[in-house]
Amino acid sequence: MPTRLKDIANALDVSIVTVSKVLRGKTDVSAETRDRILRKMEELNYKPNMIARGLASGRSLTVGLVVPDIADPFFAELARSLGAHLRRSQYQLLLASADESPAVEQHEIENLLQRGVDALLIASCQTDPASLNSALARSTPCVLLDRALPGSNANFVGTDDVLAGRLATEHLLSLKRTRIAHIGSEGTSTANDRLLGYREALAHRGIPADPALTLACDLHSGRPDLLGYNAMRRLLERPEHPDAVFCYSDLLAVGAIRAAREFGRRVPEDIAIIGCGNLPISAYLEVPLSSMDQGTAELGEHASSLALQLIGSKTRSKPRSVLISPRVVVRASTGLPRA
């Protein structure tokens, strides 16, 4: 059986309260008593029971994180960054992966709330905004990550996706490409915003948006690389081919490149392709992939700071929004010989 406060107290003939005070660094304990207690804790290898502490204090020193898929490199990196930052503030990250299922996500959110997390970070795969509102309505502070919720005015930390779409497209425009396609996704704010940025960039150059050059994949329906492959095939079967493509994600781009090459197109000479997310392995792909870097580590830093801040503030402050600026990383798929 592990040592309890009671054991220390008994051994030293002091009260449990006094021991508890030392444990929590209260100053109203004599230096001598404190020393004896600290020594005894050491000797008996005392470790506080966080469950009991949580129940008594109402705070668990815990932050929950729900991601759509922990095996997605972006969310894995985000989780790592968050965990590292929270650890420095004595907080522990509780991680749940929703496996791309809104139902599982709902379940995991409830679960974490029932476990008494002090704050909840959610990168939602929900298509229906309503289901998140029940969580946001609770008294536990919540931060939406990466994907914003259209109507809601919740706390949010994520990439400036409109800017991502714009910068990616402008990069392609700078390569003198004129028929620029977009292989996108649907349902999420990230998908909508990147599409928006893409259109903005084209409009800014006076290029009409050709609806035949915009495809949306249902990312729930299969492996993204294969979806990208099929999307590119459809683009190439059309009479007027694109000479560049901005893909919603790197994995879509990887599949798109594969398709382009199988159909005899050279990348980037015939078709320049850029993705988004900046996969760590981008530089080693069959065609090193240009991409939008989302500053994932920075994102995690902001998110954990915001979470801790919300926990600290007594009153429910007005929702804050933090947008991280993405940047273009150029590799061979849009022209650089090697990265």
Partner DNA sequence: ATGAAAGCGCTAACAC
Partner DNA sequence: GTGTTAGCGCTTTCAT
Catalog residues that contact its own copies under the rule CB under 8 A.
1-2, 47-52, 54-55, 60, 62, 69-71, 73, 76-77, 79-80, 83-84, 87, 92-97, 99, 104, 107, 110-111, 113-116, 138-139, 225, 254, 257-258, 279, 281, 284-286, 288
User: Smallest Cα–Cα separation from 159: which of 282, 327, 283, 334?
Assistant: 327
99 binds, among its own copies, DNA, none (CB under 5 to 8 A by kind): its own copies
Residue number, 44 or 339, with CB nearest to DNA? 44
| Partners of 122 in the β-ladder | 66, 144
Nearer to its own copies, 65 or 163 (CB): 65
Contact 147, 127 (CB under 8 A): no
Q: Which is nearer to its own copies, 195 or 299 (CB)?
A: 299
Give the Cα separation of 77 and 38 in Å (integer). 38
> Applying CB under 7 A, does 111 fall inside the site for DNA?
no
Using CB distances below 5 to 8 A depending on partner kind, what does residue 6 bind out of DNA, its own copies, none?
DNA
**Distance (Å, whole) CA 122 – CA 143:** 6
* Helices 129-137 and 102-114, packing angle to 10 deg: 0
Out of DNA, its own copies, none, what residue 96 binds, judged by CB under 5 to 8 A for its kind, is its own copies
Closest separation in Å from C-beta 304 to its own copies: 14
Residues in the chain: 339
DSSP string over 302-326: HHHHHHHHHHH-SS-PPP-EEEEPP
Contact of 146 with 156, CB cutoff 8 Å:
no
Q: Which residues bind DNA (CB under 7 A)?
A: 1, 4-6, 13-18, 20-21, 23-24, 28-30, 32-34, 48-49, 52-53, 55-58
